Amino acid sequence: MKRFTSVLLIGAVAVSMLAQEKMDPAKNKFRQMRTEFNTPNAYRTGSGAPGQLYWQQQANYKISIELDDEKQLIRGEEQIEYINKSPDPLNYLWVQLDQNMRQKKSLTKLTMPMKLGERMHPYYMGMFLSDFDGGFKIEHVGDGNGGELPYTINYTMMRIDLPVPLEPGGKVDLEIKWWFNVNDRMKNGGGRSGMEYFVEDDNYIYTIAQFFPRMAVYSEVEGWQNHQFTGRSEFALPFGDYDVEITVPSDHVVGATGVLMNPEEVLSEKQLDRLEKASNSLDEPVLIVSEEEAVSAEKKKLSSKLTWKFHADNVRDFAFASSRKFIWDAMAVQFGERKVLATSLYPKEGNPLWEKYSTRAVAHTLQVYSRHTFDYPYPVAYSVHTNQIGMEYPMICFNGGRPLPDGTYSENTKWGMIAVIIHEVGHNYFPMIVNSDERQWTWMDEGLNTFLQGIAEREWDHDHPSPGGKPSDIVPYMKGDKSNIAPIMTQGDLVKQFMSNAYNKPATGLNILRETIMGRELFDFAFKQYAQRWMFKHPTPEDLFRTMEDASAVDLDWFWRGWFYGTDHVDISLDRVTAMQLASGNPAEEKALDKKNAEAEPEELAVQRNRASMQSMVEEDPAMKDFYNNYDPYASDESDVETYSSYKRNMSDAEKKWRAMKGFIYQLDFSNVGGMVMPLVIQFEYTDGTSEIKRIPAEVWNQDNLKTSKVFLLEKELAGVTLDPNLETADCDLSNNHWPPRIEESRFELYKSSGRRGGGSNPMQEQ
């Protein structure tokens, strides 16, 4: 315990305010993000909202395709109505040919670095050794009036040259014909689209996307977003309305982006009745096609054909699934006056998991996500089962999670399946409706979506083993080798440790903002503002960063800089706890205390060793006692009494108040070891066994980013202090979070060098 006088206290405060001199203000982690952010303008405002002159392009599609189940190929033609809402005349248009990633000489194959190793992943073997003839075979590009248009294909991008510039406000019609071989997802790399073959019954499940030439995004931020598609960084697509006709074998069940426009032409009376019933069932899913019916279709294999017609308004893409293996169930989710159809398609191989959980997980996702963003605006949301993948499109997604062939499954498989359904259905919000540029920023949809996935998972089950965005889960990544970590603000193809970087770290950051930095009320309002401002528009990272501040009055520039633009980790150390007592002002009392303290100090070793001989000398000759020093530096005299009474006479009111104060004063010293500043979450543990948590905002670091101190007046005496007791800040080293320090527990295994685990001679080699 230390004592201080009230004069000294003022001195101490003054000293801590001078500490800033050590830090270069130009490097202060709290400086504003003016140099990193794009300058606000009439398209995107400083508040993070769309500006007065905000514009975006529109592309409307009429597509007609046929799925050839004999040859496993797709043949199609489309009319695109491209509307130029930009202020710029356009001489050419860029169209995305994503299937070309599967061409024999695709950019993906040419540029993927590869080394021969002892273990080869089947994905790479499939990519490099297959003779699969993938990619679009473009047969015709025209103007819709019988004229041909010149075009140039550069891997996955096609430039169409216009005979006259497309003026602002103008429209142009394009007509394209093509075909392509559908890839077997399980053999040829790339699971975002393709088919899965079931050898037992000789049938396919088609989960088809990127199946038509799609307009690229033209914006004031990028111009044309024509960065090549090599398989990883996903898509940038304009909104539009779609009419799509899909011709398939007549025993197939088709699910797609949009509303089925001709149910009476493709469904039986019985199925129509069941669909009607499902569309009004708010409590539980209703089967439209049963397992029995699907198994019977698997065997019959009709060769006749039917055309399913779908319509979708204001979507950025279109995908579909088709198979005669599909069982189909659905239920309704109420939004105001509207009922949305939550629905699932799955083969018998997905049961019993899928009939139990899929459609319910879809409904749950729509309810939770809508609460945090906006009411789900589309009429339908499909979850389609096919092995291994999770892939999202507007109103439809393709999800893994399959029981073993005997129908049993582990809890892990079940959790994985529910997690992937929540995640992929959740993508309807980000990026399908809040339409960010996935080709540039993977995290803008994956990170935000993984964050909301975590909220939905925690509401699905409080004991969820590892919900998205859990702070302690990101620790191993963040404290890892920095040369293998890229900032979140990195273009998707260049990101290292993709999942940690673009999914988990941004999701964790948002979770920390919500629970620790901003609080739920401020965060939820601001996040909802962002979603609603950019619903059916194209936001950039700054639009998110700015909106979160604009709607909350919380300055977050330090957080964006540290968490999104940097690679520092969080490691705050509780360096020291000092207990302090206010000095009495009475010299006699102070001297007595000083004496007590001095006597409590250990005696010098030399004195200890000499003591016996000195004592025997005094015993032999008592006169020797006076020979030694008897001076008492702590003795009090008359002058002390006078000093004290004069002090009391002159005591100011403030000092009297201090004197009357009851309690315990502690100073806590912290240092920022990891580099990323964070609020201080401090748990005080008292000698009476109780505890309480005090929260100090991150700005406590704004004068000195590396060291800070706080003084607390507590009613009770401290037994201990724990920093971040709930593990809410992703602090990477907990060994410096306790006062007094704790012995850390760890485990090691014993094994004999000749034992099963070692299997070898020298145990050191196993590291």
Residues of this chain that interact with Zn ion (CB under 5 A) are 446
Within 8 A by CB and 6+ apart from 138, the residues are 97, 151, 153, 158, 176, 177, 178, 213
What are the residues facing 244 on neighbouring strands?
A: 63, 310
Residue nearer to Zn ion on the CB measure, 381 or 723: 381
Residue nearer to Zn ion on the CB measure, 323 or 387: 387
Q: What are the C-alpha distances in Å from 277 to residues 251, 252, 266, 302? A: 22, 21, 17, 27
R_g (Cα) of the chain, nearest Å: 35
User: Shortest approach of Zn ion to residue 689 CB, angstroms?
Assistant: 46
Residue nearer to Zn ion on the CB measure, 441 or 558: 441
User: Shortest approach of Zn ion to residue 567 CB, angstroms?
Assistant: 22
Residue nearer to Zn ion on the CB measure, 76 or 190: 190
Residue nearer to Zn ion on the CB measure, 44 or 192: 192
| Cα 187 from Cα 190, distance rounded (Å) | 9
User: Shortest approach of Zn ion to residue 236 CB, angstroms?
Assistant: 15
Residue nearer to Zn ion on the CB measure, 446 or 728: 446
Residue nearer to Zn ion on the CB measure, 355 or 446: 446
* DSSP state string for 107-168: HHHHH------SS--HHHHHHHH-----S-EEEEEE-SSS-B--EEEETTEEEEEEEEEE-T
User: Shortest approach of Zn ion to residue 441 CB, angstroms?
Assistant: 13
User: Shortest approach of Zn ion to residue 446 CB, angstroms?
Assistant: 5
Residue nearer to Zn ion on the CB measure, 444 or 698: 444
Nearest to residue 195, comparing CAs of 181, 182, 209, 210?
Answer: 182
Residue nearer to Zn ion on the CB measure, 134 or 431: 431
User: Shortest approach of Zn ion to residue 527 CB, angstroms?
Assistant: 18
* DSSP state string for 109-120: HHH------SS-
User: Shortest approach of Zn ion to residue 194 CB, angstroms?
Assistant: 18
User: Shortest approach of Zn ion to residue 391 CB, angstroms?
Assistant: 8
Within 8 A by CB and 6+ apart from 477, the residues are 485, 497, 500, 504, 505
Q: Please, are residues 710 and 700 in contact by the beta-carbon 8 Å criterion?
A: yes
Q: Please, are residues 95 and 214 in contact by the beta-carbon 8 Å criterion?
A: yes
Residue nearer to Zn ion on the CB measure, 446 or 704: 446
Residue nearer to Zn ion on the CB measure, 212 or 235: 235
Pairing of strands 680-686, 718-723: antiparallel
User: Shortest approach of Zn ion to residue 370 CB, angstroms?
Assistant: 18
| Cα 351 from Cα 158, distance rounded (Å) | 42
User: Shortest approach of Zn ion to residue 452 CB, angstroms?
Assistant: 11
Q: Please, are residues 67 and 206 in contact by the beta-carbon 8 Å criterion?
A: yes
Q: What letter would DSSP give residue 767?
A: -
Instruction: Give the containing element (helix H, strand E) for 207.
Output: strand 203-208
Residue nearer to Zn ion on the CB measure, 315 or 502: 502
Q: Which two tokens stand for residue 488?
A: 């979140």
Residue nearer to Zn ion on the CB measure, 157 or 421: 421
Residue nearer to Zn ion on the CB measure, 329 or 446: 446
Residue nearer to Zn ion on the CB measure, 329 or 424: 424
User: Shortest approach of Zn ion to residue 449 CB, angstroms?
Assistant: 6
Residue nearer to Zn ion on the CB measure, 426 or 674: 426
User: Shortest approach of Zn ion to residue 427 CB, angstroms?
Assistant: 6
Instruction: Give the containing element (helix H, strand E) for 672.
Output: strand 664-672
3-state SS of the chain: helix, strand, coil percent to 5? 35, 25, 40
| Cα 545 from Cα 739, distance rounded (Å) | 36
Closest residue to bound Zn ion by CB: 446
User: Shortest approach of Zn ion to residue 366 CB, angstroms?
Assistant: 16
User: Shortest approach of Zn ion to residue 237 CB, angstroms?
Assistant: 16
User: Shortest approach of Zn ion to residue 205 CB, angstroms?
Assistant: 21
Nearest to residue 388, comparing CAs of 423, 348, 416, 425?
Answer: 416
| Cα 757 from Cα 715, distance rounded (Å) | 55
Count of C-beta atoms within a 10 Å radius of residue 1: 11
Helix/strand/coil for 720: strand
Q: What are the C-alpha distances in Å from 185 to residues 72, 257, 344, 398, 402? A: 12, 21, 20, 12, 16
Sign of CA dihedral 373, 378, 384, 387: negative
User: Shortest approach of Zn ion to residue 436 CB, angstroms?
Assistant: 12
The burial of 224, by beta-carbon neighbours within 10 Å (0-12 exposed, 13-18 middle, 19 or more buried), is given as middle
Helix/strand/coil for 465: coil
User: Shortest approach of Zn ion to residue 424 CB, angstroms?
Assistant: 7
User: Shortest approach of Zn ion to residue 357 CB, angstroms?
Assistant: 19
Residue nearer to Zn ion on the CB measure, 391 or 485: 391
Count of C-beta atoms within a 10 Å radius of residue 322: 26
Q: Please, are residues 196 and 387 in contact by the beta-carbon 8 Å criterion?
A: yes
| Cα 285 from Cα 552, distance rounded (Å) | 40
Residue nearer to Zn ion on the CB measure, 446 or 549: 446
Cα angle 700-702-704, degrees, rounded to a multiple of 5: 95
- Dihedral pair phi/psi, residue 148, rounded to 5°: -90, 150
Q: What letter would DSSP give residue 552?
A: T
